DNA sequence: GCTTCGCGTCGAAGCGCTTCGAAGAGGAGC
DNA sequence: GCTCCTCTTCGAAGCGCTTCGACGCGAAGC
């Protein structure tokens, strides 16, 4: 592997000049710059990341902390990850993948060892032990998800409260008076998952505002669980005409179960989902849905991190993306007959 | 941040001694070792990764190259990724996440820059442009998937040919004479995806061996596509009693469509899937299936990489894991009436 | 004509660690 | 008593890069 000294010799300049050509931190004459650049190309020079990190205390690597939990919906996670990597690359950075099983110590490890310049942390819970650690770490950090107390940290997420509200309003405008929210499995709520709880809040508030009945049913993913929950829903709420589904993995099964139970969508029952675009489109009856803009969030997270990194720009707290409901075949005006 | 010099001073030894305590590369007296270790703890010392990489030309980071393609089944991908990260951590290594959109150059970039010690590459195609690049890179590399010509590289994968065969044999033993394989969408095959093609090969060979009819139908993921393909299958093969499904995303919809078409599983039709354990279990009729052992593969990949890293042990070419079919409710003996 | 300035370049120091050779201290062997 | 080892520890060099101060030079200012 050629070093910067090799390049310097080849271009007949000093190593520092090569460095300045690369970083652009001092002006270099057109002439030398080209000479250096062609030497770099000719020798196939790539700066040694370790040496660079040592000298500049910058790694050009950001950490992405993924949850390992099985109850997170994987495709969304993956969209996040991919968009973060892509956006980071666009800014000349790489991504170090961490899972959560090291806990807060894992964060300390990589930052103390100067392995990363910044962190992006996913699946943040309302009362997340990582948040205080991140806050005191002092490195640029962005949370995907909003904890109860974000401290000085930047958060980015879909506005789930508005999302819940948005679903209610859509159904209300179609004339539905009684709706039910099919949620994530119980443990997700007990754990204090912000997005799940906020969705419920929004749902409840909006229902109250409009004087509509509301009810929340946590629900598992399997066919049997969905079947059991829906049976209970119809037994306990025979008048229900609107279903809001905030439980991605159950989505696929849900329409199937409804069919079995003799409910036609949207004739007997309107369904609104909160899930990735693709899932909503591919359903047997395409679902009216608020898409989860995973890619946009990932991208924003990277932008925020880069902002802090480059210009120590203090991001203005949380960014909550406005939900955008797309109407498809699964929701329709209630039939008054 | 304390440096090794701070620790040395605190423990009243030289920096090199601290280094040897950390690396264990020379014997250190019980006494000093403990003194050094408690200084490390007390000061909260973490070695600077960049400095270490520079001095030792070892980064303790391995690259994981993920495909970005939308037609890969995401949950499996994620299982791979998570198991790779977990296994790597168990060996004291971190994982740098790369996507495929930089192509072979991306590999060069991270290796030339000495950012990683080794690479794990997923979703390798039969004729993958990254393979020759990896081969000449000289770094330890492990492929998940088996290209047509692996060169000197180590490959790890499920034995998909045996998997196809295994499914046929299971159905044959139940008395089925005519089976159909529902495969991935056409482009997956045209792209030269090893695992898809090998499954078909195994399926065809085993069918031939047993004198059974065979037919392959590529198939998309959406409800409509599955419906269309299955309708064609039953029109063109009215006698079919066994379905082998090698198309994870279609799995969910499939049973639903069969029900619509008036086919009972397993009474009219036995279904065998090739998919992750969880998917097979959660189906409305639990599926007899060959699970894709993503975690095991990821783990093995890391082991292989570590082997090469530590002892320059030349892994013995490809490792193909033997498929293990689990019988569930979706397959039964054919009814002769 | 002399100072002043800015531009382009260089040299050297230093980032924090690993590692090699060597040195000091004691014990064993003759 | 002297040599020869072994066991611990140290010192110094060096990994490849960035960055700061300085220097030389031509242009501008008086």
Interval A282-327: pLDDT, tens: 888 999 999 999 999 999 999 999 999 987 666 667 899 999 999 9
Same fold, B61-158+294-321 and B160-291: yes
Report the C-alpha gap between B3 and A112 in whole angstroms. Answer: 11
In DSSP terms, B290 is beta-bridged to B274
Interchain CB distance below 8 Å, A94 and B115: yes
Pairing of strands A94-99, B94-99: antiparallel
Residue contacts between A and B (CB atoms, under 8 Å): 132
Quick: pLDDT tens for B191-218. Answer: 888 899 999 999 999 999 999 999 999 9
**CATH level 3 topology of B160-291:** Rossmann fold (3.40.50)
The average pLDDT across B34-61 equals 97
- Sort out which chain B residues have CB atoms less than 8 A from A46's CB and list them: 108-109, 112-113
Quick: pLDDT tens for A252-261. Answer: 789 989 988 9
pLDDT of A312: 64
Residue ranges of alpha helices (H) inside A67-102 are 74-90
Determine the number of helices (DSSP H) and then strands (DSSP E) in chain A: 14, 11
pLDDT band at A73 (very low <50, low <70, confident <90, very high): confident
Quick: pLDDT tens for B97-121. Answer: 999 888 899 999 999 999 999 999 9
Of A158, A201, A210, the C-alpha closest to A181 is A201
pLDDT of A84: 96
Quote the tokens at residue B334. Answer: 């054919």
Report the C-alpha gap between B121 and B42 in whole angstroms. Answer: 40
The number of angstroms, rounded, from the C-alpha of B283 to the middle of its chain's C-alpha atoms is: 22
pLDDT of B313: 64
Nearest 5°: the CA angle A276, A280, A282 is: 115
Residue with tokens 């995806």: B193
Interchain CB distance below 8 Å, B75 and A75: yes
Instruction: Please give the CATH number for the structural domain made up of A61-157+294-321.
Output: 3.40.50.2300
User: How many CA atoms within 13 Å lie on the side-chain side of B29?
Assistant: 4
Report the C-alpha gap between B164 and B166 in whole angstroms. Answer: 5
Report the C-alpha gap between A153 and A176 in whole angstroms. Answer: 40
pLDDT at B316 over 80: no
**C-alpha distance from B260 to closest chain A C-alpha (Å):** 10
- Looking at domain A4-47, its CATH architecture is Orthogonal Bundle (1.10)
Spanning CA of A265 to C1' of D17, the rounded length in angstroms is: 65
pLDDT of A260: 86
The average pLDDT across B163-189 equals 96
Quick: pLDDT tens for A94-107. Answer: 999 999 888 899 99
**CB of B117 nearer than 7 A to strand C:** no
Quick: pLDDT tens for B226-285. Answer: 999 999 999 999 999 999 999 988 887 899 899 889 999 999 999 999 999 988 988 889
Give the mutation candidate from B6, B111, B115 for the A interface (greatest A CB count, under 10 A): B115
pLDDT of B111: 96
The number of angstroms, rounded, from the C-alpha of A316 to the middle of its chain's C-alpha atoms is: 18
User: How many CA atoms within 13 Å lie on the side-chain side of A117?
Assistant: 24
Backbone angles phi, psi at A242, to 5 degrees: -130, 135
pLDDT of A318: 83
Report the C-alpha gap between B172 and B189 in whole angstroms. Answer: 26
Q: What is the mean pLDDT of chain B?
A: 93
- Which conformational region is residue A262 in: left (phi greater than 0), alpha (psi within -120 to 50 degrees), or beta? left
pLDDT of B152: 84
Share of chain B above pLDDT 90, in %: 78
**CB of A112 nearer than 7 A to strand C:** no
Q: Would you kindly state where each structural domain of chain A is located, as residue ranges?
A: 4-47, 61-157+294-321, 160-291
pLDDT of A337: 61
- Looking at domain B61-158+294-321, its CATH architecture is 3-Layer(aba) Sandwich (3.40)
The average pLDDT across A239-243 equals 96
**CB of B21 nearer than 7 A to strand D:** no
pLDDT of A70: 59
pLDDT at A223 over 90: no
pLDDT band at A76 (very low <50, low <70, confident <90, very high): confident
- Which conformational region is residue A2 in: left (phi greater than 0), alpha (psi within -120 to 50 degrees), or beta? beta
Residue ranges of alpha helices (H) inside A174-241 are 186-190, 194-209, 223-236
CA distance from start to end of chain B: 79
Lowest mean pLDDT among A6-20, A229-243, B134-148: B134-148
Quick: pLDDT tens for B274-302. Answer: 999 988 988 889 999 999 999 999 999 99
- Cβ neighbour number for residue A91 with a 10 Å cutoff: 14
Contact indicator for A304, A154 with CB cutoff of 8 Å: yes
pLDDT at B71 over 70: no
Contact indicator for B21, B37 with CB cutoff of 8 Å: yes
Quote the tokens at residue B293. Answer: 């052992």
Q: CA torsion angle for B161, B163, B165, B169 (degrees, to 10)?
A: 170
Contact indicator for A188, A216 with CB cutoff of 8 Å: no
- The nt closest to B25 (CA vs C1′) is C19
| C-alpha dihedral sign at B168, B173, B174, B178 | positive
């Amino acid at each position: 592997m050629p070093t910067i000294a090799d390049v310097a010799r080849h271009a007949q300049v000093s190593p520092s000049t090569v460095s300045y050509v690369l970083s652009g931190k001092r002006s270099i004459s057109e002439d030398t710059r080209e000479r250096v650049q062609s030497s770099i190309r000719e020798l196939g020079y790539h700066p040694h990341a370790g040496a660079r990190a040592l000298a500049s205390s910058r790694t050009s690597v950001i950490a992405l902390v993924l949850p390992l939990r099985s109850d997170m919906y994987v495709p969304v996670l993956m969209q996040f990850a991919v968009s973060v990597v892509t956006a980071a690359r666009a800014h000349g950075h790489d991504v170090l993948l961490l899972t959560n099983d090291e806990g807060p110590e894992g964060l300390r490890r990589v930052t103390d060892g100067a392995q990363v310049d910044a962190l992006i942390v996913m699946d943040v819970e309302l009362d997340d032990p990582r948040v205080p650690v991140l806050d005191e770490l002092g490195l640029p950090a962005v949370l995907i998800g909003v904890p109860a107390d974000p401290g000085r940290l930047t958060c980015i997420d879909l506005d789930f409260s508005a999302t819940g509200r948005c679903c209610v309003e859509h159904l209300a405008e179609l004339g539905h008076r009684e709706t039910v929210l099919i949620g994530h499995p119980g443990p997700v709520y007990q754990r204090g998952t912000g997005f799940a709880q906020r969705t419920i809040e929004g749902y409840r508030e909006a229902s109250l505002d409009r004087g509509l009945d509301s009810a929340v049913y946590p629900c598992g993913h399997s066919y049997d669980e969905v079947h059991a929950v829906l049976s209970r829903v119809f037994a306990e709420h025979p008048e229900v005409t609107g279903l809001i589904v905030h439980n991605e993995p159950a989505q696929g099964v849900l329409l199937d179960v409804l069919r079995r139970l003799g409910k036609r969508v949207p004739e007997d029952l309107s369904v609104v989902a909160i899930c990735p675009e693709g899932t909503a489109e591919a359903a047997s009856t395409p679902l009216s849905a608020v898409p989860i803009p995973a890619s946009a969030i990932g991208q924003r997270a990277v932008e925020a991190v880069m902002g802090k990194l480059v210009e120590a720009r203090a991001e203005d707290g949380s960014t909550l993306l406005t939900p955008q409901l797309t109407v498809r075949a699964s929701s329709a005006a209630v039939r008054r007959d």
